[in-house]
A = this chain, B = another copy of it.
Amino acid sequence: MALIVQKYGGTSVGSIKKIRDVANRVLEYYKEGNDMVVVLSAMAGQTDSLLRLAREMTDEPDPRELDVLLATGEQASVALFAMAIKSMGYPARSLLGFQVAIHTDRLFGKARIHDIETERIKRELEKKRIVTVAGFQGLDRKGNITTLGRGGSDTTAVALAAALKADICEIFTDVNGVYTTDPNICPKAKRMERISYDEMLEMASLGAKVLEIRSVEFAKKFGVPIHVRSTFTKERGTMVVAETEDMEKVLVSGVAFDKNEARITIRKVPDRPGIAGKIFHPLFKSGIIVDMIVQNTSEDGQTDLTFTVPKSEFKKTLSIVGQVGKEIEAKEVLGDANIAKISIIGVGMRSHAGVAQKMFETLAKENINIMMISTSEIKVSCVIDQKYTELAVRVLHTAFGLDHEQGQNSSA
């Protein structure tokens, strides 16, 4: 008799039959006496086809109106799901972002949830209705529809679980958990039974396929236990939970990689206070998220600054920074989109030395050149030439003892 928030992704509700399957699965929990809140994404392919429609209209669709358009995808899903439940003889009710209401800021296309009203949902649950909430969408202060960006339905689910003080948030997806690395690249990857919020956050790029990063931040902030599992099997997946002591015994939990970044280098910038601000302020204002930043030691009062941005923002960034480069009298601005970021992650790093060193040596042994390095308490990331990605992942996975003995293991 728990309050359970479940989220099903686009492939899980990709057809009428699949929506019916999800309805049956949800009913199993409901019949056991649980209160069910079900967050749905748009049917697989729907968001992309709406985007295509918008792009056919104009190269740069107005962000506010794009959100109005995209929000229809999840709206259709929850309506069809509620129909399915009702056709099976059980009570259900769909709620859209404005009906819940889910309040966000007004950053169209990548809005952040401010707060969620729970009265309406609670009222529906008291009537023993299965509540289905459109993922990905919210409402700004002025009543405009906003969307939370790709993977936003995960965030909707976790935020709802937090607001409702749900017992658990289950994220159903097309993979059966979180792996030590991508099994498509490394056949010896293992599924993890548990992973801490911090590790999951650091595994962003690996985890992006499984769990949207902001949903993990939300879960960590409010202590919502997340269960990542497959829509298509009954087996347990991976629990994403608060860190426990025994997690620290493992040196490295996983190897992540990210091919979606590009590198920008500003060469020979006069090294004056305030230069970094001059460079990054216009990027911040354009909503471009800068990931890694490395500044080389100053030489003759000049310095080199290198940073990475999402590949999708590469051109825009080059153009903005090219402009800024002139203003601050940099020698040149270079860009490279053929890079990959490889990371090793583990809360165990906090209490163990030499992890970074081992990583560098392992890559060097394969003649893989390291272009940038960045470290945090529980992560070491290296930027390398993109063509070495798979090789780097495999050798690191082996070097840090993550390989499963019997190779592929899908039911650990």
Q: Is the pair B69, A76 in contact by a Cβ cutoff of 8 Å?
A: yes
How long is the Cα–Cα vector from A394 to B123 in the complex, in angstroms? 60
Name A82's contact: one of B20, B60, B62, B86 (CB within 8 Å). Answer: B62
The answer to whether A407 has its CB under 8 Å from any CB of chain B is no
- Contacting A62 at CB < 8 Å: which of B16, B57, B86, B99? B86
A252 contacts the other chain (Cβ, under 8 Å)? no
Tell me whether A58 and B84 are in contact (CB under 8 A): yes
B68 and A94 contacting across the interface, CB-CB below 8 Å: yes
A96 is an interface residue with CB less than 8 A from chain B: yes
Residue of B nearest to A61 (CB): B83
A82: B residues at CB distance < 8 A? 62, 64-65, 68
* Smallest Cβ-Cβ distance to A73: which chain B residue: B72
Q: Does A36 contact B (CB under 8 A)?
A: no
A45 beta carbon closer than 8 Å to chain B: no
A305 within 8 A of B: no
- Shortest C-beta distance, A339 to chain B (Å), equals 34
Question: In the complex, which residues of chain B have a beta carbon less than 8 angstroms from the beta carbon of A94?
Answer: 65, 68
B57–A80 CB distance below 8 A:
yes
A153 close to chain B: CB less than 8 A: no
A401 at the interface (CB under 8 A from B): no
Known contacts A16-B57, A56-B16; decide if A75 and B69 are in contact (CB<8 Å): yes
What is the CA–CA distance of A79 and B19 in the complex, to the nearest angstrom?
27
Chain A 51-91 interface 0/1 with B at a Cβ cutoff of 8 Å (1 = within) = 00110111011101110110110011011101110110000
Contact A68 B79, CB 8 Å, known A86-B62, A98-B98 = yes
* A50 on interface, CB distance cutoff 8 Å: yes
Please give, as numbers and ranges, the residues of chain B lying within 8 Å of A57 by CB-CB distance.
16, 19-20, 80, 83-84, 87
List of B residues within 8 angstroms of A53 by Cβ: 16, 76, 80
Measured in the bound complex, the distance between the Cα atoms of B76 and A247 in whole Å is 48
List of B residues within 8 angstroms of A33 by Cβ:
none
- Measured in the bound complex, the distance between the Cα atoms of B16 and A145 in whole Å is 22
Chain B residues positioned under 8 Å from A282 (CB to CB): none
Nearest CB in chain B: distance from A239 CB, A: 33
Q: List residues of chain B with CB within 8 A of the CB of A75.
A: 68-69, 71-72, 75
Instruction: Enumerate 22 A-B pairs (CB-CB under 8 Å) in ascending A order.
Output: A16-B57, A54-B83, A58-B84, A58-B86, A61-B83, A62-B82, A62-B83, A62-B87, A62-B92, A64-B82, A65-B83, A65-B86, A66-B83, A68-B79, A68-B82, A68-B96, A69-B75, A69-B76, A75-B75, A98-B98, A99-B144, A120-B143
State the A residues within 8 Å of B (CB): 16, 19-20, 50, 53-54, 56-58, 60-62, 64-66, 68-69, 71-72, 75-76, 78-80, 82-84, 86-87, 92-94, 96, 98-99, 120, 143-145
